[in-house]
Amino acid sequence: MRKAIQSLIVAVVLLGSIGLAKGGDPFVKVAKKGSKEFFLFMDTVSITEEKSTISLKDLSGGVIYTEQIEGSKVLRQLFDVKALPSGEYFLEIEKEDGVKSWSLLVEENELKISQQNDLQYHNPTLIQSQDNKLMVSLLNSAEDAVSININHDNNNEVLFQDALGNDFVIQQIYDLSKLKAGDYTITVQANNRSYTKKITI
């Protein structure tokens, strides 16, 4: 079923100029009333040449369509979702600094996009200092529960777990100087997502 949907779901058309200014946050708009097509406008110009991932997901988190955009590029794309069954879906744009999400409601004769309830999820910042302090910082705009794990890569043993709460701004410092020399994986769970960072002590 999913393979059939994947092959039919999205007709992506690269557009030229359509009269919208470049820059700013990604923007999503239904093509016209009664249509099951929507435009995505995104300026990925970045001095760091970051990668961006476009994903369309169902309510269970299953990925129906995904595309990765690399480097400096301005996108004007048209997506056709009339092959999808009626229901709610999510369009996500993931960049290095976080994820923005829109709710797409596919109905029998039209498509509705929740612009007023679009969500911005920010990726945590994990910095290892020279004296092996780990600084964790996160703008938790969804105010979801956040937790952190530290695993030893040699045996995947969980050495440390901590619940960071659900404050809007989360900042924490951990002293890793007493850990044995080796490779470790730091995992932060936030917004039903996992963010990882590899470190060496």
CA angle 12, 63, 89 (to 5 degrees): 80
Within the chain, all domains assigned CATH 2.60.40.1930 are found at: 2-121
Is 80 exceeded by the pLDDT of residue 15?
A: no
Task: Domain 2-121: give its CATH code.
Answer: 2.60.40.1930
Torsion sign across C-alpha atoms 93, 143, 174, 160: negative
Tokens found for residue 159 = 């050495």
Range of lowest pLDDT (9-23, 35-49, 116-130, 151-165) = 9-23
Task: Domain 123-200: give its CATH code.
Answer: 2.60.40.3080
pLDDT in tens, 161-190: 999 988 888 889 999 988 888 999 999 998
What distance in Å separates the CA atoms of residue 165 and residue 34, rounded to the nearest whole number?
43
What distance in Å separates the CA atoms of residue 49 and residue 73, rounded to the nearest whole number?
9
Q: How confident is the model at residue 149 (pLDDT cuts 50, 70, 90)?
A: very high
What is the structure's pLDDT at 7? Answer: 38
The mean predicted confidence, pLDDT, of the chain is 78
Q: Is 8 helix (H, G, I), strand (E, B) or coil?
A: helix
Whole-angstrom CA distances from 1 to 6, 7, 137 are 9, 10, 41
Range of lowest pLDDT (94-98, 119-123, 181-185) = 119-123
CA angle 56, 116, 81 (to 5 degrees): 30
Q: For the chain, percent helix, then strand, then coil, each to nearest 5?
A: 5, 60, 40
Give the CA dihedral 195, 167, 126, 124, nearest 10 degrees: 40
What distance in Å separates the CA atoms of residue 171 and residue 140, rounded to the nearest whole number?
10
Range of lowest pLDDT (14-18, 31-35, 68-72, 115-119) = 14-18
Q: How confident is the model at residue 120 (pLDDT cuts 50, 70, 90)?
A: low
What is the structure's pLDDT at 21? Answer: 38
What distance in Å separates the CA atoms of residue 173 and residue 127, rounded to the nearest whole number?
9
What is the structure's pLDDT at 151? Answer: 92
Strand partners, 103: 90, 114
pTM for this entry? 0.57
The answer to whether 133 and 176 are in contact (CB under 8 A) is yes
The stretch 79-87 carries a mean pLDDT of: 89
Range of lowest pLDDT (44-58, 122-136, 180-194) = 44-58
Within the chain, all domains assigned CATH 2.60.40.3080 are found at: 123-200
What distance in Å separates the CA atoms of residue 189 and residue 142, rounded to the nearest whole number?
13
Is 50 exceeded by the pLDDT of residue 122?
A: yes
Which amino acid, one-letter code, is at 160? F
User: Of residues 30 and 14, which shows the higher confidence score?
Assistant: 30
